[in-house]
Structure formats: C-alpha cells, structure tokens
Chain A
C-alpha cells in the first residue's frame, strides 16, 4: 500500500485549532492562576490560591451540586427519550422525513427564544402549563420546583440532538446483521439488545460526552429562565462563573471556576469511557 500521509489529513484541523483555540484556552488557564480585576490595582500571580478559595466557597459547592443534579437528570432523560425517538424513526415509513424535521424543531429554535417560551409557559399566573393542568404551581419562583423546571426545558430542547445522531447511527448499521438475525429467528427485543444497542454503544459514548459537556456548561437557557434564582437554587457553575467574570469583574477567580468545569467534565468523560468499556480509539 502507498504511504498514508496521516499528518496531511490531520493538518487542517491542527492548524485551525492551534491558531484559534490555543490562545483562549491557555489564557483561561493562566488567568486562573492570577488575581486580576480592573477593580484591584495590579494583576498578581497567586498560583493555586484561586482553587483553594474555590474549594472553600459554599457558593461554588452549591453551584456544583445544582449543575451535577441538572446534568444527571437531563442527560439520562435525553438519552432514553432520544433512543426511543430514534428507534421509532428507524424503519422507513411514509412521512418519515416530515416527522424527522418536526422533532428537530426544539433544537432548532434559538436558545434564548426557547427559554423565554418556557418562562412564559411556566408563568404561575397565566402560563399554559398551569392552565392545562389546572394547578397554581409557582414553577420558577419556588426553590423546590425551579431546577426541575429547567431540567424539563433542557430535555425538551436537547432530545432531538440525541435522536438525530442515534438515528444516523441506526441507519449505518450494516443490514447484513439484521438479516442474519432474522434468519436465526431472533425476537425484536433480542435484536435490540444483542445487535442494535451494542452497535450504538460507541456513538452513545460520543453523545453522552457531548451532552454532558453541554449540560455542565449550561448558561443561556437557565439564565434567561430564572437568572440563577430563587435563592441561587438554579445557579449553575457557568452562571456563577458568568456573574463573577462579567458582573463582579474578577477575571482570575472566574477563570478558575471555568477551569473547574473542565476538570469535572474531563473526569466524567473518563468515567463514561470506563463504564461503557469503550476504547476511545
């Protein structure tokens, strides 16, 4: 075989990422080691002090807990619902393309608009949800309900992402496998367990990783919905980092908070890979 020149294939991506992403990433890492704010006189290198402060910060742990809770429930529900949707659409039927485009709508609506839409639907006074359920629940204003309201909204929004990808994955499973199973007389459930799901596991890992990353970084949607309240019960790590960076103007500590997101997500990725027993390459 001729030489493969893998470096040439990797070059465009390497150049793009190197030229554009390297600087911000290194900046954030460096800033997290500094105390830097326009409200203090000079930027100082303080090593890991920001991280020490972070670990002792109750508001950090509150945000961490909120974010973890949000991520676990959102991602799990999205994965289950998305898989269900993909399976429903796997076999061709008349109008499949139409259904496909309709279920994509939640993902296609701009996040800020979707958040406002849900804010509206959750309105305690004249919201559609209370109207249809006949209840008076203070969805967004009670600490007990608010985070769950956010989870429901995120599940609605992001499930199409999962469904779309799983459907593409289902459509690329070699038909020969199914034909062989049919010849063997396997039931639908067995086919699902033994052929479909195992084939999808690598893709599910990718989806799980990216949905977790997105859920852990969630900002816009919840910020518009509740602003982080009531009583910081929906303040996620990104919202906290945003308030520290752009409202309190503490660029050093805010960057450390951002790095904490990176660390947690990286750890979760390793956990997923181990759990699913999938080699990354």
Chain B
C-alpha cells in the first residue's frame, strides 16, 4: 500500500482539477446556449436564409448585393450561409435536411443536375410564376431546360458554365497551326507540338472517376451525334458513342494525354496547363481569369474556342452552373421567392459577374458594354453558351451518373473495351429508369 500512495495522491489532486475543468466547460456550454437563445428571440422582421456554395473571392460585393435587397424589401433580413465547395457535400447536406423537412433555410443554390431530382422529391417550390413564358427567352436555352421538370420551372438559373477548349495560341502560331476545329486536327496539332517542344503534355482534361468525367465524355459523344437518352429511351450503346469513347481511350494510349489523367479534376488539370506544361486543356470558363492574372506563366498566350467536333457533326459543350431554388418547407415563401428573383435579376447577375467572374445565364448581358469592357472574354463565351447542353434531365440522373462514371473510368483504364463499357452502362441505366 505505501508504494501506491504518492501516485494515488497525485491522481486525487488531478481528480479535483478534472472536476474543476469539467465545471468550466459546462459553464462555457451554458453561456453558449444562452447566447443562442438571445439570437433566436422573435423579432418583427422575417429572416430569409440563403444557402449557397463557397464564394471564391472577396465576400463584400455579395454582402452589398444582399444589403441592397434588404433596403428594397423593408422587414426582410437576409442571412447567407455557405456550404463546403464540394458538390457532393452540398448534395448530402440538402438530402439530410430536406428529407427531414427542415425549414432552416429558404433559398438554396442548386447544382444544375439536381433540379429534376429535388423537384421529383418534392423539395422545391414551383416557381414557374416567377418567370413567365415570355421572359424565358431572356435566358439561354440550356439552363431553362435544366430547371424545367414536367413542364414546370423549379429553379431560376443563377450562373452558368460550359466546357471550352483552351489552347496555347503562341505555340500554335509558332508551328503554323490553326486552332483545331475537329478532334483529329487537335490530336495532330498536339502531336506535332509535343514532338518539337520538350516537356509538354498534349491534351489534359478531367478523367478521374467523378461527375466531371461524365461532363467530358458527353462532349465527345454529343459532338459525334451520340446521345444518352432520346425520347425517354436509353441509346447509349450506339456506333457514335463507341467511336467517341474509343477516341478518348486512344488519347491515353497514344500518349497525347498522360496516363494520370485518371486522377485529374478541374484544378489539377488547370494547374498543368497554367504552368505551361500542356498544349490543350478542356475546362470551364473560370480558368481564364487565372491564366490571365499577373504572374501567370501563360499570360497572354492562351486562346479559347468551342470544343472540337467529329467530322460532319457539331461542337457540343456540357452545361454546368448553379440555380436558385426555394425550399418547399420554407416558412417565408413570398420573401424567399423575392430574394430568388432578385438574385436572378439582370442587375444582380451583372454585379456577380463583375465581382466574381460568374457567367450570367441571361443573353442580353453578353452585349452589355460595361461587362464586356471588364471581361472581354465574355464575347467568346456567347457562342459556346448558345449551344451548351444539359446532362440528361431526370430525377435519377445521379444514379445514372454513377453507372456512367464507373463504366467510363473502366474503359479509360483499359479494363474494358469501349463497346463492353457502353453495353454494360446501357443495361444498368435501363434498369434504373425502368
């Protein structure tokens, strides 16, 4: 027993300290709880909560926009809460909250592929009345198609994106090559330049198994006249798509695209091109500003065009972007709708374009002098956006995409032939849509 006394005593002292620490933290919690209470005291004004994905840039212009809304709508306060940048995490957040009929937020920013799904799930208010037929033409066709489900509108287009081809115009000029219009011409140019310049990858894009892979693959398939769904039927396994997928696989086997494309998402691919290590890049328009900023290794050397196409066919670009929906369980439907309408208005979209480079889905803004002066790049995007196509608009898109991602990834890794991959994908997707 005597041997144990010193240790035991030390523990007893520590035990007292532990109790004191415990009480301290309990106190902290109580204080925290009390401050929570005072914040939720009922006030005269209604607070509308906007959930959006992380903004990239200075948050103040956005805050100013919201303050302007508050001034124009006395009695309404806006609280903007951001979600993690990852699309998956946002989808997960919405799934948990909306399945629990949460009224904690009123307006939500939706990825373009979620609208049909959330509409079918009954999570979004019908907002067709906010954008009458006559006004829908003010938007590009793609976003409107994406937010329409069974003839009704369930979200307002907020900003849009579409795949574009970036190229090193300095290198093309140096080797007397024109910006390619067809995929074969692009491969030729990439090979030629790759042979003559050292340390350059030919063409980088997004080949990791994730949603971006589907965006990339659809651009090849659509630009060969292929489709995933046609009039409700699955037509994935067809000759045009087989050619397109074989072409993608060939990019890797021929060395034009490095093998590790299967790990690339938007940013890693952008970095490779931005370092000057690639001739061609497929990415979204956001990258332009990054290439043109001071200190960029490719400043002034980058050209942008629509993506190439297969012979006799038309270029295609996958539509991306975010839409504003109103939570069906919101306690403030009118205020929420007003906020959504405000943020989708030409003035707000112009402000966001100027501050964050987010591309508006409204046609007129692409002729706006002030906007064009600040971002001359927008002039080039207009042609791309006219032809931006949404991914299959179905509530089951996410399940469909999972199948596509896995099969496409398998084909690109050489685990399956393109024919096999498409046949398997067709079978699985038919089962999903049945």
Contact = CB atoms under 8 A, between A and B. Distances in A.
A229 B409 contact: yes
A123 B415 CA distance: 22
A243 interface: yes
Contact of B121 (A38, A125, A142): A38
B23 interface: no
A247 interface: yes
Contacts of B259: 124, 138, 141-142
Contacts of A226: 208-209
Given A39-B395, A247-B398, A229 B262 contact: yes
A227 B265 CA distance: 11
Interface in B263-319: 263, 268, 272
Chain A binding site: helix, strand, loop or mixed by DSSP? loop
A247 B86 CA distance: 13
Given A229-B405, A231-B409, A251-B99, A246 B262 contact: no
Nearest to A119: B263
Interface string B150-187: 00000000000000000000000000000000000000
Contacts of A231: 209, 406, 409-410, 413, 415
Nearest to A36: B99
B96 A246 contact: yes
Interface string B244-270: 000000000000001111110000100
Nearest to B411: A231
A143 interface: yes
A124 B263 contact: yes
A59 B425 CA distance: 13
A245 B96 CA distance: 10
A232 interface: yes
Given A138-B263, A141-B259, A229 B210 contact: yes
A252 to B, nearest CB: 12
B399 A248 contact: yes
A106 interface: no
B210 A249 contact: no
A113 to B, nearest CB: 14
Query: Interface extent on B, as a size class?
Result: 35 or more
A124 B99 contact: no
A169 interface: no
Contacts of A160: none
A62 to B, nearest CB: 9
Interface stretch (B36-44, B87-95, B370-378): B87-95
B331 interface: no
A232 B406 contact: yes
Given A38-B122, A227-B210, A229-B409, A249 B263 contact: no
A87 B96 CA distance: 45
B93 to A, nearest CB: 9
A199 B307 CA distance: 67
Contacts of B402: 243, 247-248
B121 A229 contact: no
Interface string B101-128: 0000000000000000100111100000
**Residue from A59, A228, A231 having most chain B Cβ neighbours under 10 A:** A231
B272 A39 contact: no
Given A232-B209, A243-B402, 4 more contacts: A39-B117, A125-B272, A141-B207, A231-B410
- Nearest 3 A/B pairs, CB to CB: A229-B209, A141-B262, A38-B121
Interface of B: 88, 91-92, 95-96, 98-99, 117, 120-123, 207-210, 258-263, 268, 272, 395-396, 398-399, 402, 405-406, 409-410, 412-413, 415
Interface of A: 38-39, 59, 123-125, 138-143, 226-232, 242-243, 245-249, 251
30 contacts: A38-B98, A38-B99, A38-B122, A123-B268, A124-B258, A124-B259, A138-B260, A138-B262, A138-B263, A139-B263, A141-B207, A141-B413, A142-B262, A226-B208, A226-B209, A227-B209, A229-B209, A229-B210, A229-B406, A230-B410, A231-B410, A231-B413, A231-B415, A232-B209, A232-B406, A246-B88, A246-B91, A247-B92, A248-B396, A249-B117
